[in-house]
Amino acid sequence: MYEKHLMICGATGCLSSNSGKVKEALEAELARRGIKEKYRLVMAGCVGFCEVGPIIVIYPDEVFYCRLKPGDMAELVEKHLIGGEVVERLLYTSPDVEVPGRFYDTIPFYRKQVFNVLRNSGIIDPEIIDEYIMRGGYRAFSRALKMERPQICDEVKRAGLRGRGGAGFPTGMKWEFTMIAPGEKKYVVCNADEGDPGAFMDRSILEGDPHAVIEGMLICGRAIGADEGYIYCRAEYPLAIKRLRIAIAQAEEYGLLGENILASGFNFHLNIKEGAGAFVCGEETALLASIEGKRGMPRPRPPFPAVSGLFGKPTCINNVETFANIPLILREGGVEEFASIGTESSKGTKVFALAGKIRNTGLCEVPMGITIREVIFDVGGGVQGDREFKAVQAGGPSGGCIPAELLDLPIDYDSLTKAGAIMGSGGLVVMDDRTCMVDLARYFLSFTQKESCGKCIPCREGTKRMLEILERICDGSGEPADLDTLESLAFSIKDSALCGLGQTCPNPILSTIRYFRHEYEEHINEQFCRAGVCKALFQYYIDPETCIGCTRCARVCPVSAISGEKKEVHAIDQSLCTRCGSCVEVCPKNSIQITRVRRKADVSS
């Protein structure tokens, strides 16, 4: 028996902040002291709080250590593991807590969260099936094996689960359509393409709790009468793919996948397909084309995949998080429990990825119906550096921005759609006063324009033209008529494009025009970008009142545009400055400010 379990976050976020090195240092320290056998070290799934990674949670003591460095390990072993004393210094501290937070319940980030989908992430070793089973895993599946097919679909319907991949289609209905579709051979497909740049919920689920997804797919297979499944996963997620492979092999070994599962006569085989880098392959018909080995170009629906999907057979496609919810619903009493959370039309919880100018970047799971304000300020800790909140982008390139006035909007499918955003897959990117909304629209359009499959004219040609107009506006050569052109083009594209990509790609433009029209007008009429993002539309200047002449800015400027003696006020040569912003980052007094571009005419007058 182990004395303690040390769960080291081994998800991509923490790995990027060097949790691998931390683990090595910890292992070395334990080995050096010859006490390796007493402790179990697990590279666990994401615990959500990527901002403060690398993280180690020690059980059964329930202590949450964060912002760890390899050099901290000696102390951790010495004091905590051997001395039995909590290392205060490595606990969570922040302006929002009075005393260092020791465990989840004392850390504000976790207070409003509800862990359903992320129930196991960070708690179990995702590479060991027994740990999943110990926490009730595969029980829902064995229950489903004893149920009639329509009964399974019915429970999913009654729970009110809606697809977590974006569109929010009722999952139970989709299953039912596929169940009744005629055909001997049917498929279950898990959409793990997670294309929204700035979202990583599905990746964390796959890395932290792969069996939950496999169990969800098994239950779906049983319900619709499929004997084969595919998980289509982005190749950019190598760790998720590795964990899935291990999980599938273990499930096969345990007789949970394969022929005659648990002697029920039910067969199910699971394959993994690695995507090859195309956002549009998240769209279901493009995804199927991609599995079939074709260019990932969407095709018109109907026929819907439920009737004619993969290789022409009835196919049920759901998102990773959708499947991860299924075992919760199908367990005894699960329907009622699931439906008790959320709002009338949106049940259960939703996982969000918090990113951008937010203090607590990371992953959180909250009940549907919670307000945006609660997610951003209570869970997310508000805006970084206490700057002014401007808006939050929900739903990525298909979604829209939600401005400060709407912060009290409840998070559910319908409210978000009404506000011009969408639930999307769950990416929330927070923006402050230094984010330019015109540039944001331009950014999303450059993304969708690059990712358009090129099949249909409105999307292929239309995104290009909208992008060009936005580029001109950001360049200072926009014209007042551009806004009308943009809007009418956007409406036509929404109305006539073939697939969801084209139909939703104008959303970021329409929503930024709707809520931030004045920023567009400022760009066009006054050639000014107040956020200091569009390089042609602002200048930096050094405020002589506050500059202390530390010379840091001058030293960091790559084009030597800043001059000034030590301890004297510095100045920027506008003819050299490339507005790279390096100086802004290093100025200790925040003296480098944004102003309108002074035209030649102004100088002479």
Partner 1 sequence: MSAVKLTIDGMPVEVAPGTTILEAARKLEIDIPTFCHDPELTRNGACRMCVVEVEKARALVASCCTPVAPDMVVHTDSERVRTARQTILRLILANHPLECITCEKTGDCRLQDYCYRYGVSESGFQGETKDLPLDDTNPFFIRDMNKCILCGICVGKCQEINGAGAIDFTRRGFVTNVSPPFGDPIENSSCVFCGMCVDVCPVGALVPKAGVGKGRPWEIEKVKTICPYCGTGCSVYLHVKDGKIIGASPDAESPVNRGHLCAKGRFGWDFVHSEERLTRPLIRRNGVFVEAGWDEALDLVASRLKESIARYGPDAFMGLSSAKTSNEDNYLFQKLVRHLGTNNVDHCARL
Partner 2 sequence: MGNQAEGSALNGELDLSQVDALVEPYLDKQGVVIPVLQKIQEHYGYLPRPALERAARRLRIPLSRLYGVATFYAQFKMMPRGRNIIRVCKGTACHIQGGSKIAERIEEILKIKVNETTPDMKFTLEEVACIGACALAPVMMINDEPHGRLTPDKIKKILASYE
Ligand X SMILES: Cc1cc2nc3c(=O)[nH]c(=O)nc-3n(C[C@H](O)[C@H](O)[C@H](O)COP(=O)(O)O)c2cc1C
Q: Using CB under 8 A, list all residues that contact partner 2.
A: 12-13, 15-17, 50-51, 53, 195-200, 203, 235-237, 273-279, 290-297, 311, 353, 355-357, 361-362, 393, 396, 427, 429, 431, 435, 440, 443-444, 447, 453, 556, 558, 580-582, 585-586
- Our CB check for partner 2 shows the closer of 111 and 555 to be 555
Rounded distance, CA 231 to CA 216, Å?
Answer: 12
With vertex at residue 32, the alpha carbon angle to CA 30 and CA 38, rounded to the nearest 5 degrees, is 35
* Site membership for ligand SF4, residue 281 (CB under 6 A): no
| 165 in contact with ligand X (CB under 6 A) | yes
Sketch the per residue contact string, 440 through 479, with partner 1: x for CB under 8 A, - otherwise.
---------xxxxxxxxxx-xxxxxx--x-----------
* Nearest-angstrom CA–CA distance, 564 and 35: 59
What is the footprint of ligand FES within residues 197-236 (CB under 6 A)?
Answer: 197-198
103: left (phi over 0), alpha (psi -120 to 50) or beta: beta
Asked if residue 373 binds partner 1 (CB under 8 A), the reply is no
CB of 310 to partner 2, least distance (A): 9
Q: How far apart are CA 562 and CA 577, in angstroms?
A: 8
Residue 301 binds ligand SF4, judged by CB under 6 A: no
The continuous run of DSSP H or E covering 593 comes out as strand 592-595
Binders of ligand FES: how many residues, by CB under 6 A?
2
Q: Does 319 bind ligand X (CB under 6 A)?
A: yes
The yes or no reply on residue 446 touching ligand FES (CB under 6 A) is no
Closest alpha carbon to 590 in 528, 533, 541: 541
What is the pattern of x (binds partner 1, CB under 8 A) and - over residues 268-287? ----------x-x-------
End-to-end CA gap in the chain: 83
**Binding of partner 1 at residue 436 (CB under 8 A)?**
no
Say if CB 205 and CB 121 are below 8 A apart: yes
Subset of 450-479 contacting ligand SF4 (CB under 6 A): 452-456, 459-460
Closer of 222 and 234 to partner 2 (Cβ): 234
Per CB under 8 A, 265 contacts partner 1: no
Taking CA atoms, 527 is separated from 285, 319, 519, 536, 596, in Å, by 43, 44, 10, 8, 8
Nearer to ligand FES, 334 or 500 (CB): 500
Answer for which of 16, 260, 492, 595 binds partner 1 (CB under 8 A) is 492
Residue closer to ligand X by CB (options 154, 236) is 236
Q: How many residues bind ligand X (CB under 6 A)?
A: 23
Gap between the Cα atoms of 559 and 462, Å rounded? 38
CA distance 209 to 471: 42
Residue that is written with structure tokens 């950014």 in the block? 443
Q: Which does 347 bind (CB under 5 to 8 A by kind): partner 2, ligand FES, ligand X, none?
A: none
Residue 181's closest CA among 316, 284, 292, 311? 316
Strands laid side by side in the 56-59 sheet? 39-44, 4-9, 56-59, 63-65
Minimum distance from CB of 461 to partner 1 (Å)?
Answer: 4
Q: What is the 3-state secondary structure (H, E, C) of 15-37?
A: HHCCHHHHHHHHHHHHHHCCCHH
214 contact, one of partner 2, ligand X, ligand SF4, none, CB 5-8 Å limit per kind: none
Separation between Cα atoms, residue 302 and residue 314, nearest integer Å: 12
DSSP symbol at 242: H
How many Cα atoms are found within 13 Å in the side-chain-facing hemisphere of 563? 5
List the one residue out of 287, 358, 352, 321 whose CA is nearest residue 165: 321
Nearest distance from C-beta of residue 177 to partner 1, angstroms: 15
Which residues of this protein are in contact with partner 1, per CB under 8 A? 278, 280, 295, 297, 299-300, 302, 449-458, 460-465, 468, 485, 488-489, 492-498, 503
Which residues of this protein are in contact with ligand X, per CB under 6 A? 163-167, 169, 171, 191, 193-195, 280, 282-284, 317-319, 322, 425, 499-501
